[in-house]
Amino acid sequence: MTGILTASDVGKSYGSGDTRMAIIDGLNLSIAKGEFVSLVGPSGCGKTTLLMCLSGLLSPNLGKVGFKGQVVTAPPIGLSVVFQDYSRSLLPWKTNLDNVLFGMRRVTGMDAAQKKARALEILEAVGLPGFAGHYPWQVSGGMQQRVAIARGIASQSELLLLDEPLAAVDAQTRADMQDLLLDLAKRFDQTCVLVTHDVEEAVYMADRVLVLGPRPTRVVREIVVDLPKPRDQISTREAPAFLHARHEVMELIRSMRQGKALS
């Protein structure tokens, strides 16, 4: 398999002996450079666990994860994670700007002034001009989320792994953030893997949707979303291709749920 990020026959379980619980089993995927891929699956199916394995923060029990042709054993440079628990992932004793700069510690070929200029540029791009000097706990949850995204991009990232970044924001902010994310991915050349349990969001954002099965999870279906970019909150959501993809994913998820209910 080729691609910037690959997973082959990945298996992961927690615990051992009687309390052993298989979370991922025989999962394969490949993400091409520049793609925007959504991973959808029900809560608790192992999405966060999968993302941890893909990022090198957890090592899978079985199989291999590869990033740019190298086997991943620890978080590689060029890959960054925006955690589901984003507010905890920011350092409260640093300002938003310093949090972003903290993500740039390993960035080479820039002096301090250039780093700062770059960090400010990214903060502005995520819609936070004027909040660089604030502390994360002085701004709202949605803004903290953007700081976390800015930190991810700033660390010379090529691949962003986003774990349910919009699960906790209200509907309007959510739509804005979706468009912002798409815009950022293009502007900063990011390949993106977005984990979500919201089917509409998965389809709206992605070039390709991977549907995850119930635990122990693996990719059960791949749906290519053939919609033009840039996406538009109103017209994209009315396009036949959007409705078609949405229908397919929802039906699949419903059948999985019924299957579970029967078994």
Partner 1 sequence: MTRQTRIALWGLLVPLAILALWQVAAMLQRTPLFPGPGKVALAIWANYPVILRELGITLLRAVVGFGLAAVTMIPLGIFLGRVRVIGRVLEPLMDMLATLPPPAIIPLVMLFAGTGDGAKVVIIAYAAAVPLLMNTYEASHSIHPMLSRVARSLHLSRFETMRLIDLPSSLPMIATGARLAIASSLLVSVTSEMLLATNGIGTFLQRSQETFKIDAGLAGIAFISLAGIIVNAGVFRLEKNWLFWHYRDQRPAE
Q: State the greatest distance between any 2 C-alpha atoms of the chain, in Å, as a whole number.
A: 61
Task: Indicate left, alpha or beta for 58 from its phi (over 0: left) and psi (-120 to 50: alpha).
Answer: beta
Residues 175 and 205: their CA atoms lie apart, in Å, by 10
Q: Which stretch binds partner 1 (CB under 8 A): 17-25, 62-70, 76-84, 117-125?
A: 76-84
118 touches 88 (CB < 8 A): no
Residues 164 and 167: their CA atoms lie apart, in Å, by 5
Q: Tell the smallest beta-carbon distance from residue 57 to partner 1 (Å).
A: 5
Q: Which stretch binds Mg ion (CB under 5 A): 20-28, 44-52, 100-108, 231-239?
A: 44-52
Q: Tell the smallest beta-carbon distance from residue 44 to ligand ADP (Å).
A: 5
Residues 92 and 100: their CA atoms lie apart, in Å, by 12
For CA atoms 34, 40, 44, 46, the dihedral sign is negative
Q: Is 252 in the site for partner 1 (CB under 8 A)?
A: no
Q: Tell the smallest beta-carbon distance from residue 213 to Mg ion (Å).
A: 16
Q: Tell the smallest beta-carbon distance from residue 165 to partner 1 (Å).
A: 15
Q: Is 102 in the site for partner 1 (CB under 8 A)?
A: yes
> From the list Mg ion, partner 1, ligand ADP, none, which binds 46 (C-beta under 5 to 8 Å, kind-based)?
ligand ADP
Residues 86 and 160: their CA atoms lie apart, in Å, by 14
Q: Tell the smallest beta-carbon distance from residue 214 to ligand ADP (Å).
A: 10
Of 48, 144, 157, 196, the residue at the interface with Mg ion (CB under 5 A) is 48
How many CA atoms lie within 13 Å of 193's alpha carbon, on the beta-carbon side?
29
Q: Give the interface with partner 1 as residue ranges (CB under 8 A).
A: 52, 55, 57, 74-75, 77, 80-81, 83, 85, 88-89, 91-93, 102-103, 105-106, 131, 134-135, 137-140, 143, 155
